[in-house]
Structure 1
Amino acid sequence: MSRTMREPRPVARRPFVRTPLAVLAALLCQTTWAQSATDDEASPRLKSASQLQEKISPLSRPERPTFVTGDQITGQNELQTVVEGNGELRRADTVIRADRLEYFQPTDTAKARGNVFINRAGNTYSGNELELKVDAFEGFFTQPHYEFLSTKAYGDAARIDFVGENNMVVRNGTYSTCRPTGGPDWMPAWLLRADAVKLDQENSIGVAQNGVLEFYGKPVLSASSLSFPLSDARKSGWLPPSVGVSSRDGFEYTQPYYWNIAPNRDATFYPTVLSKRGLDLAGDFRYLENNYRGQMWGNYMLSDKLRNSSRWGYAVNHNGAIDTGFSSIGSLGVGLNLNRVSDNNYWRDFNRSIPTLTQRLLPTDVNITWGRDEYFAQLRRLKWQTLQDVTSPITPPYDRAPQLLGRYTRNNLSGFDVVLEADHTQFQADPVLTKQPNAQRRYAQAVVSRPWLTPGWFITPKLQLYRSDYSFSAPLTNGMNQASLSVPTVSLDGGLFFERDASYFGRAYRQTLEPRAMYVNTPYRNQSAIPVYDTALNDFNFATIYTENAFGGRDRISDANRLTLGVTSRLLAPETGGEIARFGIAQRLLFRDQLVTMPGGTPVTNRASDLLLGAAVNWTPSWMMDTTVSVNPETKVTNTSSISARFSPSNYRVINAAYRFQRDNSEQIDIGWQWPLNDLWGDKGVDKGPGRGLGPGRWYGVGRLNYDMMNKRMVDAIVGFEYDADCWIGRVVLDRLNTTLVTANTRILFQIEFVGFSRIGASPLQTLRQSIPRYQYLREQVTAPSRFSNYD
């Protein structure tokens, strides 16, 4: 029998909030815990300001039917319904089943006895006795067993009190993500016990009282009162501490605190105790608005025992637009990239803290930009801090104090493309270190080209006119205080495109043949007396061989009367157009010597450059190979070579290898990997997809090695293991980073991750993700589970 009833009145309902008791990430301290948006391992990034400001307004809940079924139904219409045997009440995303079920329509109250089961939007509860106001979701459940959909966590409790749709209290409860695999006396690998847990889903906050975390039956952490997040939403509070050991710092303990200032602003503080050095205070602040965003970071150590002095560093990064209120003015932008530290040894002693790519060259870069239609202008101030090392000194780069750049770009002006550019830069550095005077440089350049583009061919004639003037702070060796340079360049670039259907090794392809030729003529101008401020010789590769100037920068314009010839062939997938393989060859032919060189360089007298060979093969998604080689055509000697390969047959299986060689300069081998060690004894596991691992009881080897073959030494090394026990993951990683040719800092990073709960220890995850291309977290929620995945 079944009966359909209408609710007595519509009830306002707030949007559904997940119930993740699972994120009791707080047990690492006896106070408040937080989910940090700055943690790359688990937290979401700050959303855009427009998204953060969006609010989903509560909607009035329309009248929806309530369905009641069972073996025997009695009652009074619009008052009471009693179901005996296999009773079921269903409304929207709530299902209640029991041996006996009573429903009182005026108060919207359900009472259930015997084998009671609730499915609330995928979260399930089962137990002995239930009394619940269905729509308001207020009541209690005695002796329940619960399971949460989003975290796959479960537990038992003496009683759960439902205090509204978004609040509940779990009394004398347990919590774990470990699933039974043994007999009746089986206990999970880890288990949380608490006298009471209050869950406020609307604010995504939970509070546990008298909580104890047990690992294989042994208590490892306890707290009298703790707060924790219930979802990915950020909240203020203490984060799990990080504990580590290194040869330089000794025992290291960091206790972060996260401050959720606003939906688009937050801060994290990182007080760290180093047993060999002292107390380091660090923190960062982030902000995100509609028109600008940025981050500030800094640290201060009052007395560093390692150097017997105070140490500090800071970094500021800001980028945004300036709203003038007048669209006719154009767009204004401002950028800041500030980096400064206390001393020359900072990069060595705080090498993991400096948020820059070049640890010994720290830029302070301030720029203001303006743009409107075809016009662009920039005012820039760049100053470098160079961290010197007596064993490996660096010639400091020049500050730009300041630089003013203007550019006009117009495409398809009666078929022509026009670029006009002018620049004024004040170069400034210590003449004692640079061994040349400072200077003001002004240059102007005009580029006019007329491209013809068709599906089968292209041709682009181009004319460039370049003029520069220098004013030096001191006379040059020839006594000159000023210098100038005027150079025209004419070039003609063209190519053809052929394609055909082909078949190799039983597979169909679309094959292309793309010959290309580029002629460049630039007259010789003697530039040997002009110092170099921002210029270097370009690397010889496929990205630079088809360029007019052999130098990068504005202090050298190479003379040229040369022809560059090359051909590329590609194999494309006919269905998708994806590139399966690419093969290329190119060479420069000189009709006269190239006399313009860098200081100390020699003219190029060979009529034929090195032969440049390149190949990239991605025959299957599992394999990738890319190589570039330059060979002297006369001596048949390889001058440079770069070979890289990747094998990644499935998730969590990747091996990267690279070999880089420059004759008389460097030779290195770089290998990185993540691989399940169970493969060695034939246990392949089950690929559950990204973020879910390959199954329980699995070991993974991870690491990266960079070896200098010329000097016969290990440059950097990261070697470790991960063990996936399904509901917990253990990680141990050895991280060795060279700070000089003879010294290195070694760290041991050990971590236990209680899946769906928290991580304890010094995290190696960020190091592994940054060091190993295509490294994958064993646990990472790629998509939130739908309630329909546990639909009743």
Structure 2
Amino acid sequence: MRPPVFRPRPLSLAAALAFALPAAPSALAQEAAGEPLVLKSVKQLNQARRKDTRPAMALSADRITSEMDQTSLAEGDVQLRYGSMLLKTKSLRYDYPQDLAVAVGDVELVQNGAVLRGPKLELFVDRFEGQLDSPTYFFAATGGSGSAKALHFLGDQRMRADEATYSTCPVSEQGERKRDWELVTSSLKLDFDAGEGVATDAVVRFLGVPILAAPSLSFPLGDQPKSGLLPPNVNVDNRSGFEYDQPFYWSIAPNRDATITPFVMTRRGAGVDSQFRYLEPSHRGQIDFALLPHDRAYGRSRWDLRLNNDGDITPNWRYQINTERVSDDDYWKDMRNRMLSQTPRLLSTDLRTQRDFNFNWGDMQTYARVQHWQPLQVQDAQDRFVSPYQRSPQIGLRVQTGADESVLAGYLPTGRRARLEGGLELEYNRFDLPGGALNSPLQTGERVHMLGHVSLPFSGAAWWLIPKLSVNAASYRVDQPLDLTGRRTISRTIPTFSVDHGWILERNTSLFGQAMRQTLEPRVLYVNTPYRDQSAMPNFDSAPRDYNFDSVFAENQFSGVDRVSDAHMLAFGATTRWIEDERGEEQLRLGMVQRYLLRDQRITPDGTPQTHRLSDVVLLASAHLNQAWWTDSTLQLNSSDGKVERTVLRLRYSPGPFRTVSASYRLARGTSEQVELAWQWPLFGPNRKSVSGGPGCAGAWYGAGRLQYSLRDKRFTDSVVGAEYDSGCWILRVGAERQSTGRAETNTRLILQLELVGLSPLGSNALKVLRDNIPGYRSLSSERSAFGTYD
């Protein structure tokens, strides 16, 4: 299988004139090569024809005079059809021996969604060679148009335009030169066989001012990548000052490319970002390296290195490498936008390999892993954290029966016959602390563990019953003595018996006058785990589970292996849903879950024995009563005093495109209390109900942003506020982003982006910032640009 081709986003003319040419028979080539055909959504009908066939020619007009096999002269409302091409004109002379059509007067050539007009056209029809004088053109695929001194057709895959212009702005009453933005070039050459376009003396003018120029600008046509300059990036923040980046894209091969980006920061100096991507038949990945040789503000060199790679050693043997490392502990504060990790203060190096074995009774996996960490600590003791253990290495074996995955994920009624299911995990780990970890009496050492279970699921059309017996066994050898006797080894085995039972019941009903199907889904889980003293045992990878609607039905209140909560309890609850009959959409959901202890629990997440029989109750409610309003909430109530332990309330109003407002409130008693407001909404200007630009590029302003406020700390945390101006053919985004880098530190970044619809955006990547922060955000140009949205 041929590896797919990378699709870079270099500054381009968008191959706008490409749509005026007949399409290459790529689908036929794919079919001949035995490759599967892939459907692609396009904005114009593209009818490719075989090179060894000649379409029929049809000529109609008010008057036609012909000489047999010599010439035909057509006058008045002339139309010439040849394949997918339609030629309209006032007068046309067709020379049969030469296959030459000469059209004079209001010439209009329509081809694959492109409309070209001019006073005179000379065209060798089948060869598609000739010239259109003083053409204007419009391309339905991009919504762009322009003009040229002459348009030369050089075959079905090549053309040249002299003194060409292009813009997605509509023509004003004063003429094309008054457009808000326009690309002007002295010569534009398009070669679709080579997949390359070249513009000579290209200048982009915005509001009459040249903002980008290049003596020679090349760009890819279609999917073929092409080396060249990318749009510059501009950033401004309070830690680095003004930053200018100029990327260069290098197409090394169809399956390899690189992007080199020199940058300069007014407060820190000059550096370079680099990215190399590769896509081999059995291996694929990406390497990123950012280097600032001398940071004037920090007094040393700084760098960021990332490697993401995965591949196949054999069809059933895979490997994966993911790592990110930085030069210093403050890198995440100063250059956060250069990091990819979702946890910027805890960077991972993860190397793993796995081999799968498939049998008629189930699956088996053997695996090995090495996981290391780089914790980025700060000077403030309150903001320092305990890093997790490293695994050096982790080696294991897993075996599971064919239906075991569905059993573990939450059994659904199937009505199949009961059969014995089971699973087994055997694993060895060596646990160490990473460099930079806080000084603490934490143990280091080795662990061998076994996790196993066997179950006998029963089910009907609307119910299930799963008795299960599990075991958690672990043996430890540690580097530090466990007690005063100097003992360094310890082991334990803990069994668990559980029974999971549930129903899914339905009935027809109505809600607010609408026909509905209501479900009632009760569930009960019985768990019996004996108490085993674990106070002397190390804890390498266990942590308390988050107490929520799903974890109530977990057999163990801890994740990982090292801690197993003793339990003799019933977890019970029910969910009811109202589902609309016509569209099958869920309109309302209500739920409640709780635990009842049959004996005191001694091993608990907070370390305090639980003697109260009823646990906290969790309530769930969500509603989508119409297309505009969504709301959902969860509430955790303390069964002893009735106080709210945790709650999450969310509300969203979205009546149409580019109109969304969401609000949320989060409370964790004694820990945090936060409110959030996010929005995208028209402020003033034309009511743009569609996504196409209005006449004359009439503009409209939109507000967008997200505010997070900590009621506990009485301050704003991570937030972004911006505004967007949509003229119809260009979009301006301005705003500010604030990120917390400590209890009293923030990084404020200004965002500014100009997007010329049909070309690449210029400036900082404001679009990505808004999309990542605002729920339901939608790009104003998402359905207008022929090139999609930009990351």
TM-score, normalised relative to structure 2: 0.88
CA 1:595–1:688: 2 relative to 1, 3 Å? same
Q: Aligned partners of 1:562 and 1:592: how far apart in 2?
A: 7
Q: Which deviations, in whole Å up to 9, do the C-alpha atoms of 1:301-333 show, x marking residues without a partner? A: 110112100111111111222127xxxxxx101
Query: Aligned partners of 2:488 and 2:299: how far apart in 1?
Result: 46
Matched, 1:706 2:715: no
Q: Deviations over 1:510-542 (max 9, x none)?
A: 011111111100000010111211111111101
From 660, 664, 669, the equivalent of 2:666 is 660
**1:508 corresponds to 2:519:** no
Correspondence 1:195 to 2:186:
yes
Pick from 324, 330, 341: which aligns with 1:345?
Answer: 330
Which residues in structure 2 correspond to 1:400-419 (within 5 Å)? 400-411=391-402, 415-419=419-423
Deviations 1:29-76 (A, max 9, x none): xxxxxxxxxxxxxxxxxxxx978999x999434132111111221222
Which residue pairs with 2:370 in the alignment? 381
Match of 1:525 in 2: 532
Name the counterpart of 2:601: 594
The equivalent residue for 2:545 is 538
Letter in 1 for 2:671: N
Q: Partner residue of 1:578?
A: 585
CA pair 201-435 structure 1, distance change in 2 beyond 3 A: same
In the other structure, the counterpart of 1:686 is 689
- Whether the 8 Å contact between 2:11 and 2:229 is mirrored in structure 1 is no
Residues 212-243 of structure 1, C-alpha deviations (whole Å, 9 max, x = no match): 33323333443333223444643111101112
Deviation at 1:281, TM superposition (A): 1.2
Query: Quick one: distance in 1 between partners of 2:221 and 2:505?
Result: 59
Bigger mean CA offset, 267-276 vs 177-186: 177-186
Q: Which amino acid aligns with 1:384?
A: W
* Cα distance in structure 2, aligned partners of 1:198 and 1:649: 46
Once residues 653 and 389 of structure 1 are traced to their aligned partners in structure 2, the CA distance between those partners, rounded to angstroms, is: 41
Indicate which of 734, 737, 755 corresponds to 2:736: 734
- Once the two structures are overlaid, the 10-residue window that deviates more, 333-342 or 71-80, is 71-80
Match of 1:234 in 2: 225
Deviation of 1:738 after TM superposition, in Å, equals: 1.6
With normalisation by structure 1, the TM-score equals: 0.88
Distance 1:662 1:535 in 2: 22
Give 2:501's aligned residue.
494
SS in 2 for 1:271: strand
Matched pairs, number: 733
Aligned: 1:439 with 2:445: yes
Compared with structure 1, are the counterparts of its residues 412 and 714 closer, same or farther at alpha carbon in structure 2 (3 Å cutoff)? closer
- In 2, Cα distance between the equivalents of 1:142 and 1:695? 28
Contact 1:522–1:560 (CA<8 Å) still a contact in 2? yes
User: Does residue 394 in structure 1 map to residue 389 in structure 2?
Assistant: no
Worse-matched range after superposition: 194-203 or 551-560:
194-203
**Contact 2:11/2:231, CA 8 A, preserved across alignment:** no
Tell me if structure 2 keeps the 8 A contact 1:692–1:780: no
Q: Deviations over 1:252-298 (max 9, x none)?
A: 10000112223332221221111100112111122234444222111
Aligned-residue offset at 1:166: 2.1
Q: Which moved more, 1:261-270 or 1:118-127?
A: 261-270
1:114-263 correspondence to structure 2 within 5 Å: 114-182=105-173, 187-231=178-222, 233-263=224-254
Task: Give yes or no for the alignment of 1:333 onto 2:336.
Answer: no
Q: 1:510 to 1:744 in 2, by over 3 A?
A: same
Contact 1:88 1:96 in 2 (8 A): yes
Separation in 1, partners of 2:38, 2:618: 54
Mark the CA change 1:514 to 1:346 in structure 2 (over 3 Å): closer, same or farther: same
Report the 3-state secondary structure (helix = DSSP H, G, I; strand = E; otherwise coil) of the residue aligned with 2:769: helix
Could you list the per-position Cα deviations for residues 474-506 of structure 1 after superposition, in whole angstroms to 9, with x for gaps in the alignment?
A: 102444311111111000110122211111211
Preserved CA contact (<8 Å) 1:23 1:231: no
Q: Residues 510 and 173 of structure 1: is their aligned pair in 2 closer, same or farther, counting only changes over 3 Å?
A: same
Distance between the aligned counterparts of 1:254 and 1:203, measured in 2? 30
Alignment of 1:552-567 (within 5 A): 552-567=559-574
Query: Which residue is 1:761 aligned to?
Result: 763
Structure 1 783/450 Cα, relative in aligned 2: closer, same or farther at 3 Å?
farther
One of 412, 422, 425 as aligned partner of 2:426: 422
Query: Residues 346 and 373 of structure 2 are in contact (CA less than 8 Å); yes or no, is this contact kept in structure 1?
Result: yes
- Pairing of 1:629-648 with structure 2 (within 5 A): 629-648=635-654
Give the aligned residue type for 1:659.
Answer: Y
Q: Deviations over 1:457-485 (max 9, x none)?
A: 11111101221111111102444311111
- CA distance in 2: counterparts of 1:276 and 1:416, whole angstroms: 67
Structure 1: distance between partners of 2:570 and 2:427: 30
With 745-754 and 520-529 compared, the bigger mean Cα shift is at 745-754
Cα displacement (A) at 1:84: 2.3
The aligned residue for residue 676 of structure 1 is 682
Distance 2:520 2:753 in 1: 53
User: Contact 1:22–1:756 at 8 Å: present in 2 too?
Assistant: no
Code of the residue aligned with 1:703 in structure 2: it is G
How big is the shift at 1:760? 2.2
Decide whether the 8 Å contact of 1:193 with 1:211 is kept in 2: yes
Q: Name the % identity.
A: 38
Over 3 Å counting, the alpha-carbon distance change for 1:514 and 1:490 in structure 2 is: same
**What is the CA–CA distance in structure 1 between the aligned matches of 2:638 and 2:683, rounded to whole Å?**
44
8 Å contact from structure 1 (residues 692, 779) kept in 2: no
2:689 partner amino acid: V
1:39 maps to what in 2?
none
Query: What CA distance in whole angstroms lies between the structure 1 residues aligned with 2:13 and 2:573?
Result: 61
Question: Which amino acid is the alignment partner of residue 758 of structure 1?
Answer: S
| 652-661 vs 180-189, which moves further | 180-189
User: Per-residue deviation at 1:607?
Assistant: 0.9
| Matched position secondary structure for 1:433 | coil
Distance 1:158 1:60, change over 3 A: closer
Say which is worse superposed, 606-615 or 759-768, in terms of deviation.
759-768
The whole-number CA distance in structure 2 between the counterparts of 1:693 and 1:267 is 41
Q: Which segments of 5 or more consecutive residues in structure 1 lack a partner in the other structure?
A: 1-19, 27-48, 325-330, 786-792
Structure 2 residue matching 1:150: 3-state secondary structure: coil
CA contact (8 A) 1:82 1:100 kept: yes
Partner of 1:85: 76
Q: Which one-letter code corresponds to 1:101 in the other structure? A: L
Q: Could you give the per-residue CA deviations for residues 663-714 of structure 1, whole angstroms, max 9, x where no partner exists?
A: 1111112222111113xx8x6431349x999994211111111211111111
Change (3 A) 1:58 1:290: farther
Shift of the 773–538 alpha-carbon distance from structure 1 to 2, 3 Å rule, reads: same
Do 2:218 and 2:227's aligned partners in 1 also have CA atoms closer than 8 Å? Answer: no
- 1:554, distance to aligned residue in structure 2 (A): 0.7
Which residue type is aligned with residue 463 of structure 2?
Answer: W
CA separation of 1:22/1:751 partners in 2, compared to 1, >3 Å: closer, same or farther?
closer
AA partner of residue 727 (structure 2): A
Structure 1 counterpart of 2:207, one-letter code:
Y
- What secondary structure does 1:270 align onto? strand
Maintained 8 Å contact 1:70/1:84: yes
Structure 1 position 645, deviation (Å): 2.2
> Residue deviations 1:577-601, cap 9 Å, x none?
3322211101101111111145x72
Structure-2 residue corresponding to 1:5: none
